[in-house]
Amino acid sequence: MRVIYSPLQCRHDGGVEMHRGALLPSFESPARAHTILAALQRGGFEVLPPRDWPESRLLEVHDAEFVEFLRNAYSRWTAGGRDGSMLPSGFPARGLRQDRRPSGIHGALGYYTFDASTPIVAGTWDAAVAAARCALTAAALVAEGDSAAYALCRPPGHHAGRSFFGGYCYLNNAALAAQHLRNHGCARVAVLDVDYHHGNGTQEIFWEREDVLFVSLHATPESEYPYFLGYADERGAGRGEGYTVNLPLPLGTRWHEYRPALDAALDAIARYAPDALVVSLGVDTFEADPISGFKLTEPDYSELGDCLAAARLPTVLVQEGGYAIAEIGANVARVLGAFETNTLRR
């Protein structure tokens, strides 16, 4: 499979995040993309740049005013005499109005995000758009007949919803890929999210839709980020009822516990009989991940690639999380390598 990557994604750099009461350098860094790219180049994968998709494509899954906010946020911040990382100072919790978007930049920032771990810096917009273009390009390759493609996206995307960002995510790359497949010949698309964290943004975008099945395997929100979504009783609404499937797992989960849940996820996808699959591929399920609590090991990522290939679907893989910098490249290469070994040419 081909790999889509843009160096513009590294313009998002130098941010800080609030981590358990301390301001730390962002766990989500350009080095993540560099180590993945190096491992895939060593593995012999062909790497292509993204196509120059118009920014209007973002509006297929995002709200126009939200996109405008992201585009202009940092220049508004610097116009107010600030530099460094933009982080919010307040959120519209219960009892506060959700229907008023403050005109000032600090209130607007809290309105559009849900955590203090997702900084906006000078290069964030360019990088997020480049990541979105990588995902759209991978989806286009698959829509045009490639059996699979991998978008090396960063910043990641699955925590970003129609009109909010957070969880290191600004634009929802996987949702853009799924929508592209819907626009180009796929009547039904399944999204399988195997990142350690629940893909709350993707779930929100497709919550009331039956044409995109969202299935997520993730750590329980009882103790793990994003805390306020990802329970098993969330199943979609309206026409989308039954087309969201959540499989939360306990801290400490190992492959022998993960595998049955993955099989249940793949069974749900097989019953749906989609025309294509989008995989939100986080490798923060790894035992050495610094912010996560599952115990997957190196060989488990080869088995994950085997399992994904066994779905026998045209597949767009989109990079999400993974913060054990030294190992994430090799783990992604294991997934993609095993997937390729198992994939029959269409």
- Tell which one of 180, 182, 197, 198 touches Zn ion (CB under 5 A): 197
Binding mask 211-250 for ligand SP5 (x = CB under 6 A): --------------x-------------------------
The interface region with Zn ion, picked from 25-33, 40-48, 182-190, 194-202 by CB under 5 A, is: 194-202
**Taking CB under 6 A as the rule, which mask of x and - marks residues 172-201 in contact with ligand SP5?**
-----------------------x-x----
Residue type, 260: P
CA angle 190, 319, 203 (to 5 degrees): 40
Contact between 291 and ligand SP5 per CB under 6 A: yes
Distance in angstroms (rounded) separating the CA atoms of residues 191 and 169: 17
**Interface positions, 268-307, toward Zn ion (CB under 5 A):** 282, 284
Tokens of 11: 């313009």
Q: Which of 167, 201, 230, 274 binds ligand SP5 (CB under 6 A)?
A: 167
**Alpha carbon distance 130, 209 (integer Å):** 27
- Distance in angstroms (rounded) separating the CA atoms of residues 172 and 257: 29
Q: Which residues of 193-210 are buried (b: 16+ CB within 10 A; e: fewer)?
A: bbbbbbbbbbbbbbbebe
Of 321, 329, 335, 336, the residue at the interface with ligand SP5 (CB under 6 A) is: 321
Distance CA 304, CA 301 (A): 5
Assess 196 for contact with Zn ion (CB under 5 A). Answer: yes
Residue 30 or 282 having the CB closest to Zn ion: 282
Options 29, 117, 147, 244; binder of ligand SP5; rule CB under 6 A = 117
Closer residue to ligand SP5 in complex, CB, 226/240 = 226
From the list 281, 276, 279, the residue with the least C-alpha distance to 322 is: 281
Rounded CA-CA distance 50/5 in Å is: 7
What is the distance between the alpha carbons of residues 8 and 127, in angstroms, rounded to a whole number?
5
The nearer residue to Zn ion, 159 or 209, going by C-beta atoms, is 159
**CA dist., res. 156 & res. 167, Å (int):** 9
Between 147 and 216, CB nearer to ligand SP5? 216
Kindly determine how many residues on this chain lie close enough to bind ligand SP5 according to the rule CB under 6 A.
14
Can you read off the two tokens belonging to residue 178? 């799924």
For binding to Zn ion (CB under 5 A), which residues are involved?
Answer: 195-197, 282, 284, 321
